[in-house]
Amino acid sequence: MNRRTTVGIHDLSFASAEFVLTHATLAAHNGARLAKYHTGIGQQAMSVPAADEDVVTLAATAAQPVVQRHGTDRIRTVLFATESSIDQSKSAGVYVHSLLELPAATRVVELKQACYAATAGLQLALALVTRDPGQQVLVIGSDISRYPLDSPGEATQGAAAVALLVAADPALLRIEHPSGLYTADIMDFWRPNYLSTALVNGQESISAYLQALEGTWNDYTKHGGRPLGDFAAICYHQPFTTMAHKAHRHLLRHCGHQSEHPATTALTCTTAYNTQLGNSYTASMYLALAGLLDHADDLTGQPVGLMSYGSGSVAEFFAGTVVPGYRRHLRRTAHRTVVDRRQALTYARYRDLHETQLPTDGGDHPLPPQTTGPFRLAALTGHKRIYTPR
């Protein structure tokens, strides 16, 4: 590969669910102070999927604009990251491959490690394109976060998918070396196969996140990474948006910096979408990147830090440089439409959707149309999911 050829994120698109529950509606139901949500966890609303939506339909909807803009001929790999998997064997990405009519000469796999897996996909994609700069890799993070009704985690639910096209000479962000890595065996958040909602130890999860942040930063600097003062912005994984602010303050203290660090002002931009969509697990940090690129002042040539965390736990800190001309390739209007098109739910309707369970008897079960998106889960038959485009 030519030394001057760089690899990174060439395009970025995201999608979310059909419905939205505002935290004002949630607070009215449970009698909580609205500030508990708007200020305490930094959330305004959360996306709620229709009965005929899942991680596949969200992923295909996110990726469709990327494929329409760039074509399919150079896409040789699809890496689908999720912790809301629909099958223990078949990759959700194979369904997306079919819905988007990608070439048969494509490798497709699913990746799992809590909210971190999309970053594993990005790093694998960078290696593949470095080896063969003529190919492109589609990396998708798609998740629906669900917690029990009336539980502490209920207010942090959400749903979204982010599609990244990784290519040589990228139009948005050149990914740099090195990465800082960290893994620890911690039970801060998990979901056994027999449960449909996650288990979480909230305080332990926050501590584990901050511990991982320190670990990744120490490893990043040990391997020659940039000093903290270089960064114009840092995108953090956001299980709720105030966690980004908590993590940033922790990193500043760890590095002996003051709170006036230039990257502090950009934090609000990184939370612009997550505060409306809720926690989208593998998509969360890349929604932060979308928010930054769509809303910040011109970042041309500026370094951006990225902190990816997945409970259990695995984390990575790495960096990228914003490419000149990147603003011409952004999808601000489309992304705003994703947020604004959602239909508001009453709490009763949200509760009905939350409690909906797909049939498991293997019979023929057509699903009534609810979503107005381009793809839907149309039926279950013989234990198979049937997806259709509109």
Separation between Cα atoms, residue 197 and residue 355, nearest integer Å: 11
237 is catalytic: yes
Separation between Cα atoms, residue 118 and residue 180, nearest integer Å: 16
Separation between Cα atoms, residue 215 and residue 369, nearest integer Å: 47
29 is catalytic: no
316 is catalytic: no
Q: How many CB atoms are closer than 10 A to CB 207?
A: 13
Q: Give start and end residues of each alpha helix (H) in 159-312.
A: 202-222, 242-255, 262-270, 274-277, 284-295
CA end-to-end span of the chain, whole Å? 41
CA distances from 19 to 61, 83, 326, 370, 388 (A): 15, 21, 31, 10, 20
Q: Is residue 56 exposed (0-12), middle (13-18) or buried (19+ Cβ within 10 Å)?
A: buried
Q: Is beta strand 19-22 parallel, antiparallel or unpaired with respect to 343-344? A: parallel
Q: How many CB atoms are closer than 10 A to CB 193?
A: 6
Separation between Cα atoms, residue 213 and residue 314, nearest integer Å: 10
Per-position DSSP letters for 265-306, written without gaps between them: HHHHHHTTTHHHH---GGGHHHHHHHHHHHHSSP-TT-EEEE
Per-position DSSP letters for 22-88, written without gaps between them: EHHHHHHHHT--HHIIIIII--SEEEE--TT--HHHHHHHHHHHHHHHH-STTEEEEEEE-SS-S-S
379 HSE (CA, 13 A, CB side) = 7
Structure tokens at 116: 């971190």
Given the residues 53, 83, 154, 316, the one annotated as active site:
83
CB 306 within 8 A of CB 289: yes
Given the residues 10, 23, 97, 237, the one annotated as active site:
237
Q: Quick check: bond before 313 cis, omega within 30?
A: yes
Provide the residue type at 313 as one letter: S
Separation between Cα atoms, residue 187 and residue 340, nearest integer Å: 36
Given the residues 97, 115, 154, 316, the one annotated as active site:
115
Active site residues: 83, 115, 237
